[in-house]
Amino acid sequence: MSEQQGAPVPAARRLHYGQTHEQLREWTARMPNARRTVYDNYNVQTRVDARSTGSTYIVTEHPERHSAQSMAPAEARRIAELQEAHLRDRELLVVDGYIGNDPGFWVPARLIVDSANANVAGMQEHLLFPGPGLGPGFTPRVTVIDTPNLAAPGYPQDRCITVDLEHGLTRVLNSDYFGESKKGLLRMWNAIVDQRGGLALHAGCKVIPTARGERTLLIVGLSGTGKTTTTFTRQNDSLPVQDDFVALMPGGKVYGTENGCFAKTYALDPADEPTIHRAVTSRVAFLENVSQQEADGPVDFFDQRHTQNGRAVFPMEALGWSRDARQVGPVQALLILNRNDNLIPAVARLSTTQAAAYFMLGETRGTSAGGAAEAGKALRVPGTNPFFPLLHAQQGNRFRELHEAAGFEVYLLNTGRVGGPDDDPRGKKVRIADSSAAVRAIAEGTIGWERDPDFGYEVATRVPGIEDPELLQPRSLYQRTGRAEEYRQLVAHLTEERTGYLETFPGLDPQVVAAVRG
């Protein structure tokens, strides 16, 4: 990705720069699919309720340099002409700001969106950081031009997202899901981080005070695996730093990206997640696809009839407590979340090659964030980052390089179940309280370890706060329930499958591939 600046503003009937939160609320209130809630915030029901991976294309003459599907520049120009012709008669909202708040690393960013979809602008305004030079003269490095109501005939669901890394420009056609705007900017930022020698991680960040000093933790995971929950659940008066994406640089240096949070709301319970619930139900939040039966009425976070992928965006200040990314030290521990339901223990400790391998495996159960095609299914997404726009092998190799140089610890956390899925009474759920106890013990260094004979990583012999040893060593659960042979077969199947999967990435360090063999 070149260091040249982003695209110019397209011609339009009228452009609105620098709209305040209150003005964007007013624009959103005019939308026919927006309803005010009992919390005096706005909830928008969208046509598209998840990201559109099958409609997303990297613009390139060299498709071999990317793992994602691609589009030739000539076709991208045709799509651009279609979009710009549409924009000439539209009224547009322009949202400017910065990805990150460290002047040494921030990236100027711009969203241009049809005013008929003002909630997208309001949500993005919460996430971008303020900074110098905002306004008509602002020069972005990355730009998203979003036309949610313009069809792209011939593409899946008549929807098309083009990602031009060279010019720092993403075009979104026919998706009114806010995630396409948010991820459009961060996807291009991924390439910038790679170019600067780091690795963009789909990760939260938090700091936990302990007797041995403050510990900086990164929490890597797919949407819906508990990344936000793990980041915002408090241990020892911990403080969240970042919800969704960070840059990991040489020496373990961490840079943040967003000034707010894009939180899933399905099953949001104030008893389990009081901080997030309080922020989501504040006046400043924008909601998307949360169940609501009447205007000015309550919302139901447990109703999934429309989608489980209900979302809310709020500024970090709505939490009432957080830490500025510029004030955190190098990362001490990185947690890879894996929402599984069989053999993954509640917590395991990984060597360098194992860490790179499990990072590349990116295993979990799919959620509604990826659409109906992914929900509930076993998935593997390299780096748990579906937005990395380059070759996936580059992620694994860079991760190993950064880990070896910085020496931080890496752990695998299962945020799902062990011993069987929800409908198997022999299985056990890893509760939020169990995961929180594991995170606290990781920060404090109070876990006892021993080598697992099947997978080679270290499993816990004790974790303060987790009373059930079968959550720590699933082998014992299978043995107690008379399923030792089933366990053995699962181990063999997983080892073979994982090895075969990692071998599909040309250029990935062979030692990383070998690490999953135990």
200-258+325-517 and 261-318: same fold?
A: no
Domain regions of the chain by residue span: 14-32+48-196, 200-258+325-517, 261-318
Cβ neighbours of residue 344 closer than 8 Å, sequence gap 6 or more: 338, 363, 412, 414, 416, 418, 474
- What is the Cα–Cα distance from 299 to 280, expressed in whole angstroms? 11
pLDDT at 45: 97
Sign of CA pseudo-dihedral 426, 427, 433, 434: positive
Contact between residue 51 and residue 177 where contact means Cβ atoms under 8 Å apart: yes
Architecture in CATH for domain 200-258+325-517: Alpha-Beta Complex (3.90)
For residue range 174-206, list pLDDT tens digits in order. Answer: 999 999 999 999 999 999 999 999 999 999 999
If DSSP states are collapsed to H, E and C, what string results for 351-399?
A: CHHHHHHHHHHCEEECCHHHCCCCCCCEEECHHHCCCCCCCHHHHHHHH
pLDDT at 377: 65
SS3 assignment, position 414: strand
Distinct helix (H) and strand (E) counts, the chain: 13, 30
Angstrom distances, CA of residue 194 to CA of 8, 188, 199, 313, 402? 25, 10, 6, 27, 12
Contact between residue 256 and residue 246 where contact means Cβ atoms under 8 Å apart: yes
| Residue 414, strand partner residues | 338
Contact between residue 349 and residue 400 where contact means Cβ atoms under 8 Å apart: no
How many of the other CB atoms lie within 10 Å of CB of 457?
A: 23
Architecture in CATH for domain 14-32+48-196: 3-Layer(aba) Sandwich (3.40)
What number does CATH give the domain 261-318? 2.170.8.10
Nearest CA among 146, 158, 245, 138 for reference residue 200: 245
Contact between residue 185 and residue 196 where contact means Cβ atoms under 8 Å apart: no
Average pLDDT, the chain: 94
Contact between residue 252 and residue 435 where contact means Cβ atoms under 8 Å apart: no
171's enclosing H/E stretch is strand 169-173
480's enclosing H/E stretch is helix 474-480
Contact between residue 124 and residue 181 where contact means Cβ atoms under 8 Å apart: yes
Cβ neighbours of residue 477 closer than 8 Å, sequence gap 6 or more: 418, 419, 426, 428, 470
> Could you identify the residue written with the tokens 């397209």?
10
What the block records as the tokens of 96 is 């400017």
Q: Tell me, what DSSP letter sits at residue 129?
A: B
pLDDT at 2: 47
pLDDT beneath 50, residues of the chain: 1-3, 366-371, 374
Contact between residue 37 and residue 299 where contact means Cβ atoms under 8 Å apart: yes
- What is the Cα–Cα distance from 378 to 220, expressed in whole angstroms? 17
pTM of the model: 0.93
